[in-house]
Amino acid sequence: MNYTGKVRDGVVVLEGSQNLKDGTIVAVEPIESAGASTLGQRLRRFSGSARGLPRDMARNHDHYLHGRPKP
């Protein structure tokens, strides 16, 4: 059986009048809200904004950032 609820002050409060016994083991899985976006979607606005980088920066970023040999 599945229940839904919200976190209030760090405690999951179930919706409705579900009465689970104290000590009942449960699994909690957050549900993303409809307006939530992924990290990639939030960072997309920065795509293509870096200027003056080497053409092979994506492939060889360890070389340019940390001095490792190019493959």
Span 31-56, average pLDDT: 84
34 has a pLDDT exceeding 80: no
User: What are the CA-CA distances from residue 32 to residues 35, 52, 54, 57, 62 (Å)?
Assistant: 8, 38, 38, 34, 34
Rounded to whole angstroms, the Cα distance separating 51 from 47 reads 11
Predicted TM-score of the model (pTM)? 0.38
Residue 39's pLDDT band, with cuts at 50, 70 and 90, is confident
